[in-house]
Amino acid sequence: MTQSIRLWELSGEIQQLETAIALIVENETLTEEEREDKLQETFSEWLEAGESFKVKAEQVASYIRHQEALATARKEEAKRIQSLAKQAENQATRLRNYLTAQMLRSGVNRIDGVSTKIGLRKKQPIVLINVPTEKLPAEYVKVTYKADLTKIRALLKADAMGAIGWASLSESHQYSITIR
């Protein structure tokens, strides 16, 4: 069973070959002819590894596309199933409302069946607010705060002196890949 070379292995090999090329160029103990021969040999290995890297990267990109298509198909199927679940929930709600209305109409508050017990009870009344929230007394209002990260990021980028102590930009570097 042959094991294919991984992309990270090819990346490492390319870096090693680039380092070897730099060392050959800087090596003063080699004659010009020896240097040219070693450079040519190492450079051809580097080109071969680079081509292998490109082929492998294309394979990885194709697999990424496949995974994205699979995710999209699964999301669509999830939406379809979610729609069916919503239909079942709506049907159950309609039947529950129908049963409630008929029990109220008949004056029946409790039914003890063989497999099911049904009880009718009154819910708490719904609170209706008749004024805008801003006009309510302070003790009856919940206030939530959320940081405006876009404005903070812009401020931090503009702050060359580093004078803002209450926020900072992360040191991590994140990249995105475009596959067409």
Instruction: Kindly report the average pLDDT of the chain as a whole number.
Output: 84
Of 82-86, 111-115, 175-179, which range is least confident? 175-179
Domain ranges of the chain: 7-124
Contact by Cβ (8 Å): 90, 107: no
Question: Considering only CA atoms, which of 46, 55, 44 is closest in space to residue 19?
Answer: 46
Question: pLDDT (tens digit, 9 = 90+) per residue, 123-149?
Answer: 888 888 899 988 988 888 998 889 998
Question: Considering only CA atoms, which of 134, 132, 166, 135 is closest in space to residue 152?
Answer: 166
Contact by Cβ (8 Å): 119, 109: yes
Question: pLDDT (tens digit, 9 = 90+) per residue, 92-128?
Answer: 999 999 999 999 999 998 999 898 899 988 888 888 8
Determine how many CB atoms are found less than 10 A away from the CB of residue 101: 10
Q: Return the structure tokens found at 120.
A: 């009718």
Q: Is the dihedral of CA 149, 151, 157, 163 positive or negative?
A: negative
Residue 62 has pLDDT above 70, yes or no: yes
Predicted TM-score of the model (pTM):
0.51
**Residue 32: burial class (beta carbons within 10 Å; 0-12, 13-18, 19+):** exposed
